[in-house]
Amino acid sequence: MPEIPVIEDIHKKVLEAVTATPDSLNMKEWHTCTTTHCRAGWVVHLAGQAGYALEKFYWGDTAFAAQQIYHASGYDISPVRFYESNETAMADIKRLAEV
């Protein structure tokens, strides 16, 4: 099993990523391209090669890999958060980054 990566200040890093462009967050697709992902996709992407290795190890299960990365980074996230609308996800991401 690959090591589970840790993302320091995960909430702030995710917020920076999803607000980089107006199209950076797309909750309908895990990975659209290198600049557009859903919330779980961004977590895997921000974890770099280790994140993608973890995703691959879990048979491409982006949500489970992201949940493991969130946990290792100090936050237990409900997997339902990976299936919300863009608006709901953005509000939660902003809320967590401000804490």
Model confidence pLDDT, tens digit, residues 43-90: 999 999 999 999 999 999 999 999 999 999 999 999 999 999 999 999
CB 24, CB 81: distance < 8 Å? no
Q: What is the pTM of this model?
A: 0.97
**Burial tier of 99 (Cβ tally within 10 Å: 0-12, 13-18, 19+):** exposed
| Signed CA dihedral, 46, 52, 54, 59: sign only | positive
The pLDDT assigned to 51 comes to 98
Residue 99: pLDDT band (50, 70, 90) is: confident
Alpha-carbon distance of 32 to 21, in angstroms, equals: 14
